[in-house]
């Protein structure tokens, strides 16, 4: 019993001990994690603290507040740069996507400031339109229905409505909305997701509260990014700001006078039940959905009519099919009908009868297509089965008649239920017709005769590079699609074929033969409409349900619109586009395509926020229409209004009601007469001076998705308003792609989302800015990688630390004449300036980072490595590098640049500095080539040593001999000459290898080396790709041996060899002579020194110096400089700033044996001058040629005995 008890006690104690150990481990792990987490944000926090200090300084100094200089002054003679960004909508927080586009304007301003220009970057807040009002109304309904705070009904997880708000239809919101709101169900939840407190959310039921809440928040977030914005000029839109309201009214009165605004019918989403347009705020489903235009193809029913249509004999009757691809109608082979769907025959205009689904007919009734507006006069109701095998005359097709055939996948909720079939260019159509051809029982089931199907083959109408002339059959063949049941493959095939057809397709038939598909859609549509073979038809692009539960349609309603289809206005805009810098051919083509199809744009709404039409105040001016020339309002906003909402007058004391139309005309038009007004001549002068100086807009930046609307309207409206002043028209438009986050689309619903403020809190402003610049410069989607942003924090912090350390010890850096590597980095710095300036001018900021940061820092690191192999870095070079690096980095990372600028001792802000100017010689190309040659030699030698060292039983080499060739062997020179002749400098391409090989066969010098010729030619081609045409030169533009000898110490240190001997290829054996060519020395490695030498023992007599005795191999012809370099390499405790003195013994035999005396280092010794040369005599004795040196009688100064011992002293410079 005692044993059991003691065992139990032991076990219990052991368990307690283990528990305590586990608790201690958990404690220490938790503590370590805490310390690690704190440590991981230390550098980021340091950068953020620095950024706040810099921003406070800029604000105190009002660095970015820019006023127009007095005309004729010296300041007025400087260039100006006026950049704008589409003011963002104030219904939420700015996210990283906004910031990416915005950053392009910001970087451009930063660069142009450095170029000495007066720069203006204003920023406004857009509040016009329906979204704010819709959201506030939605919140009002929620508070009324569910209380305050609301208690929402619970929806079971996984149910159909689980991720959407309850609505009249109980369906999900549009995917785009879900992506932006994170699949939350109510407006209240959307506000909560933005970290807005529950006490504040109810205030958003008043739409005016949005205008007060978000603009200050947006400004604060942008300021924390360090934007160079003149905030005095900021404003909100809508009639809540009386100054901007007055400006917009003037804008539209001017447009009406120019004949640009007209009144007429426009397509809009409409509720039949409510009898009015159904805007976003009226919808329980389908927010953001607009009308989708189709071409309604009229396929005439031919005699004999089916039984169900006999009553229509003699009446022109048409099956009507809605298509998005009118250009493909040349390839129609049949028409598909849903066998189980219900159709109606109804009266259309001009005594015609149309057949379609009832849903489509009601859309047509409100678009002027039916016999009587807003009425569907149904003649008969039909089942799809009743309509099988009907003969039709289809427009444009080469077949005289086609037939209606069954398709089980025809839908009644999209289009008309009638599907015209083009199997040549539609995979679904091709798969369906092939099924019918192969399956006789299927044909019999629907009473389809063989002659209705079998004779009809696909018609070639469009040629694409990927698929040829029959895209759908070819794609189905490649993807092994066998039938209509291969749904997944058909979806992919459809995408591939439609994409190839639109972007790469060329018409091979018809009136537009030889033209690109994307250019002819509207042309062919118009052709059919003019021939009464088609009509325009529209329906909602998705399901829209009104709050009353009505399925909405598209109706043609009376509206005011901007006549962008006016041929004169359009042509004028098209010509101006030729002079606009778009920075990208893709963007220019997008503009041109938009001008081709753009017609009218409805500019009036009856609901929302905004400015009312001056002549028809029942309508509001919609959000895309009041945001086209607001850039001109920026020029005077700071003088007119004293607050962002215009609630108080500005410095000139002008009231909104004083801004008559005549006043605005005088401010903006040179030929306008000066109006009679209450305010002073000086006020008029200042307002006019600001506009005249800053306009036109030098750059407007935006996303590429705004080219088809905002950006094109921006051009149109400037040309219309300033129709007599072409010098006021926009100069440049820069459009970029979307921003991915961690290589995926940003979406709140997936959690892959960052607001601007979240990004700054996570990475700091400059690290975020750096990675926005590094994300991409093209119209392709850019990518923001969080891992890269974290690495940038370390890079920026490391740059500051390095600059701080170097500047603290700058007095210890080397001065005097420049060495080879000083001259190399000086040239590399100049090259970085030139290249980065060119990249910034072209708004290629990613390339600017490459040349101005990555490559320049790489040059600095190489310089440090080379300099440390000798006497260290040069003070002037280091200071020049730090200053240039700060200036080149300034447009992208201004806070870090400002901090470093201050560290350099500058009192003025870097925002008042100028872009660095390269030295007069700019870039020494030959010198830079020699530096690349030197690095390549070191790299090749390092690889050769590594390869040799990896072999078993092979000692590590300690010495190398490089054999350098000044010219190519005759056969290689002949190959190079042949390649020169085969190279097209205009295209940068060579002839095909086969053609080059044929040429080489006929060259006598090459015949003996035919097996080596093509591999050598291929290597040269790769070098040309990397280094340019200079890679085909027969000689190098510099002395290879001289470069290698001058930098032997660097070579030895970088490849960890004791000595590298440089010799001409003629000194080597046959292999050395064959293998060595210009740019590529041949290396021979040795374990022991292959050259005759004498090992000399060098002692250091300085007590407690940390320097010891070393053995140095001295060769015939070595100088004291060579010995000093060897000492530096062997004694790793000698700083680059310290000097080395070599002493020989007066008596080379007895001297080393004498007892040294304390601090009498020169006793019995003589300093050997740095230019003295050592020689090894035939007797094997070492002597030194030291002219002018003190020597004993009978000894010549050109042959002084040295013996095998010397001394060296190390002293601070």
Condensed to tens digits (0 to 9), the pLDDT of residues 302-332 reads 988 888 899 899 999 999 999 999 999 999 9
Both tokens assigned to 115: 């170029």
Tell me 260's DSSP state.
-
Q: Rounded to whole angstroms, how far apart are CA atoms 804 and 802?
A: 5
- pLDDT given for residue 433 in this prediction: 92
Task: Give me the residues paired with residue 728 across strands.
Answer: none
459 Rama class: left (phi>0) / alpha (psi -120 to 50) / beta: beta
The confidence score (pLDDT) of residue 547 equals 59
Are 529 and 536 within 8 A, CB to CB? yes
Predicted pLDDT of residue 34: 43
N- to C-terminal Cα separation, the chain = 86
Give the model's pLDDT for residue 956.
84
β-pair partners for 782: 739
Q: Give the helix ranges, DSSP H, for 154-241.
A: 175-181, 187-193, 207-225
Q: What are the φ and ψ backbone dihedral angles of 717, each rounded to 5 degrees? A: -70, -35
Among 936, 930, 931, 928, which Cα is nearest to 1035's? 930
pLDDT at position 36 is: 43
The predicted model scores a pTM of: 0.77
The whole-angstrom separation of Cα 950 and Cα 952 is 6
pLDDT of residue 802: 96
For the beta sheet containing 782-784, the strands, ordered from the edge strand earlier in sequence to the opposite edge, are 744-745, 739-741, 782-784
In this prediction, residue 19 carries a pLDDT of: 59
DSSP 8-state assignment for residue 560: E
Cβ 387 vs Cβ 336: under 8 Å: no
Is the CB of residue 801 less than 8 Å from the CB of residue 50?
no
3-state secondary structure 620-663: EECCCCCCCCHHHHHHHHHHHECCCCCCCECCCCCCHHHCCHHH
- Predicted confidence at residue 558, as pLDDT, reads 85
The first and second tokens of residue 80, run together, are 């100006």
Q: Which residues of the chain are under the pLDDT cut of 70?
A: 1-39, 155-184, 276, 279-284, 287-288, 547-549, 920-921, 1190, 1192-1194, 1213
Q: Are 1075 and 943 in contact (CB under 8 A)?
A: no
């Amino acid at each position: 019993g005692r044993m059991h008890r003691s065992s139990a006690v032991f076990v219990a104690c052991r368990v307690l001990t283990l528990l305590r150990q586990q608790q201690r481990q958990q404690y220490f792990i938790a503590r370590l994690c805490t310390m690690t987490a704190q440590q991981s944000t230390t550098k980021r926090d340091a950068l953020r603290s620095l950024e706040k200090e810099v921003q406070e300084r800029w604000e105190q100094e009002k660095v970015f507040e820019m006023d127009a200089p007095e005309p004729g002054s010296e300041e007025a003679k400087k260039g100006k740069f006026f950049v704008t960004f589409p003011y963002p909508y104030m219904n939420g927080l700015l996210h990283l996507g906004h910031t990416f586009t915005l950053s392009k304007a910001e970087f451009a301003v930063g660069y142009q400031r450095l170029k000495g220009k007066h720069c203006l970057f204003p920023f406004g807040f857009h509040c016009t339109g329906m979204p704010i009002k819709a959201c506030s109304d939605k919140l009002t309904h929620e508070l009324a229905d569910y209380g305050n705070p609301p208690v929402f009904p619970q929806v079971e997880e996984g149910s159909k409505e689980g991720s959407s708000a309850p609505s009249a239809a109980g369906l999900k919101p549009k995917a785009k909305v879900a992506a932006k709101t994170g699949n939350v169900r109510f407006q209240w939840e959307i506000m909560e997701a933005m970290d807005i407190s529950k006490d504040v959310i109810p205030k958003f039921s008043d739409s005016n509260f949005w205008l007060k809440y978000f603009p200050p928040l947006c400004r604060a977030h942008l300021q924390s990014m360090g934007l160079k914005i003149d905030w005095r000029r900021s404003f909100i839109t809508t009639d809540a700001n009386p100054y901007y309201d007055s400006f917009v009214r003037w804008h539209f009165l001017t447009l009406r006078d120019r004949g640009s605004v007209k009144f007429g019918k426009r397509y809009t989403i409409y509720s039949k039940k409510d009898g009015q347009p159904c805007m976003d705020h009226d919808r329980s489903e389908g927010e953001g959905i607009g009308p989708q235009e189709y071409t309604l193809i009229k396929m005439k029913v031919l005699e004999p009519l089916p039984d169900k249509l006999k009553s229509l004999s003699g009446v022109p009757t048409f099956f009507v099919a809605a298509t998005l691809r009118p250009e493909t109608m040349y390839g129609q082979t049949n028409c598909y009908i849903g066998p189980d769907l219900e159709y109606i025959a109804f009266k259309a205009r001009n005594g015609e009868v149309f057949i379609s689904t009832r849903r489509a007919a009601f859309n047509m009734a409100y678009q002027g297509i039916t016999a009587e507006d807003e009425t569907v006069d149904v003649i008969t109701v039909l089942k799809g089965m009743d309509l099988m095998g009907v003969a039709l005359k289809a427009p444009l097709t080469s077949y005289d008649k086609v037939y209606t055939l069954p398709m089980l996948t025809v839908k009644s909720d999209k289009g008309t239920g009638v599907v015209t079939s083009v199997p040549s260019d539609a995979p679904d159509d091709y798969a369906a017709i092939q099924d019918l051809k192969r399956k006789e029982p299927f044909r019999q089931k629907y009473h389809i005769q063989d002659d209705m199907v079998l004779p009809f083959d696909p018609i070639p109408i469009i040629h694409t590079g990927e698929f040829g002339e029959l895209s759908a059959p070819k794609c189905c063949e490649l993807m092994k699609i066998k039938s209509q049941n291969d749904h997944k493959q058909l979806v992919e095939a459809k995408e591939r074929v439609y994409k190839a057809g639109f972007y790469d397709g060329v018409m091979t038939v018809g009136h537009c033969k030889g033209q690109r598909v994307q250019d002819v859609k509207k042309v062919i549509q118009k052709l059919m409409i003019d021939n009464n073979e088609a009509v325009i038809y529209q329906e909602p692009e998705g399901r829209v349900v009104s709050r009353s539960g009505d399925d909405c349609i598209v109706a043609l309603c009376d509206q005011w619109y901007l006549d962008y289809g006016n041929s004169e206005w359009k042509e004028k805009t098209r010509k101006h586009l030729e002079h606009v810098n778009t920075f990208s051919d893709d963007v220019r083509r997008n503009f041109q395509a938009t001008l081709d199809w753009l017609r009218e744009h409805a500019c009036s709404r009856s609901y929302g926020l905004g400015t009312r039409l001056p002549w028809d105040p029942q309508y509001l001016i919609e959000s895309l229409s009041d945001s086209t020339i607001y850039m001109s309002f920026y020029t005077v906003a700071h003088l007119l209004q004293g607050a962002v909402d215009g609630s108080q007058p500005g410095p000139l004391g002008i009231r909104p009601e004083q801004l008559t139309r005549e006043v605005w005309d005088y401010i903006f038009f040179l030929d306008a007469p000066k109006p009679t007004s209450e305010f002073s001549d000086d006020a008029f002068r200042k307002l006019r001076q600001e506009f005249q100086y800053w306009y036109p807009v030098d750059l407007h930046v935006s996303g590429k998705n705004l080219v088809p609307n905002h950006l094109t309207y921006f051009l149109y409206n400037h040309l219309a308003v300033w129709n007599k002043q072409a010098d006021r028209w926009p100069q440049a438009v820069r459009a970029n792609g979307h921003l991915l986050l961690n290589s995926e689309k940003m979406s709140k619903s997936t959690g892959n989302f960052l607001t601007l403020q979240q990004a700054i809190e996570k990475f700091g402003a400059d690290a975020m800015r750096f990675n926005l610049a590094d994300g991409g410069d093209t119209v392709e989607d850019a990518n923001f990688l969080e891992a890269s942003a974290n690495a940038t924090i370390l890079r920026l912090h490391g740059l500051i630390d390095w600059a701080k350390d170097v500047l603290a010890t700058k007095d210890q850096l080397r001065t005097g004449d420049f060495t080879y590597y000083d001259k190399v980095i000086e040239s590399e710095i100049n090259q970085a300036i030139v290249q980065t300036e060119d990249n910034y001018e072209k708004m290629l900021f990613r390339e600017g980072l490459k040349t101005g940061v990555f490559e320049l820092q790489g040059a600095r690191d190489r310089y440090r490595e080379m300099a440390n192999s000798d006497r260290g870095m040069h003070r002037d070079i280091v200071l020049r590098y730090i200053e240039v690096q700060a200036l080149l980095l300034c447009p992208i990372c201004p806070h870090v640049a400002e901090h470093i600028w201050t560290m350099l001792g500058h009192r003025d802000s870097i925002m008042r500095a100028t872009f660095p100017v390269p030295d007069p010689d700019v870039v020494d190309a030959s010198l830079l080539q020699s530096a690349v040659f030197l690095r390549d030699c070191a790299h090749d030698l390092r690889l050769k040593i590594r390869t040799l060292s990896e072999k078993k039983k092979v000692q590590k080499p300690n010495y190398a001999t490089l054999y350098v060739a000044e010219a190519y062997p005759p056969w290689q020179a002949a190959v190079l000459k042949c390649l020169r002749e085969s190279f097209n400098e205009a295209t940068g391409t060579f002839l095909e290898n086969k053609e080059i090989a044929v040429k080489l066969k006929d060259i006598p010098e090459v015949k003996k080396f035919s097996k080596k010729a093509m591999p050598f030619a291929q290597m040269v081609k790769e070098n040309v790709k990397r280094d340019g045409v200079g890679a085909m030169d027969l000689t190098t533009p510099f002395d290879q041996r001289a470069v290698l000898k001058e930098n032997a110490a660097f070579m030895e240190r970088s490849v960890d060899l004791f000595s590298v001997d440089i010799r001409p290829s003629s000194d080597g054996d046959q292999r050395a002579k064959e293998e060595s060519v210009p740019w590529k020395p041949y290396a021979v490695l040795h374990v022991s020194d292959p050259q005759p030498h004498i090992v000399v023992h060098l002692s250091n007599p300085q007590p407690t110096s940390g320097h010891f005795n070393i053995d140095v191999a001295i060769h015939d012809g070595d100088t004291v400089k060579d010995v000093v370099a060897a000492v530096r390499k062997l004694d790793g405790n000698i700083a680059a700033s310290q000097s080395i003195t070599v002493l020989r013994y007066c008596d080379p035999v007895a001297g080393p044996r004498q007892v040294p005396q304390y601090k009498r280092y020169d006793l019995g010794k003589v300093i050997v001058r740095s230019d003295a040369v050592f020689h090894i005599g035939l007797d094997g004795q070492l002597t030194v040629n030291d002219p002018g040196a003190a020597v004993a009688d009978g000894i010549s100064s050109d042959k002084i005995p040295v013996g095998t011992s010397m001394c060296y002293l190390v002293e601070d410079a």
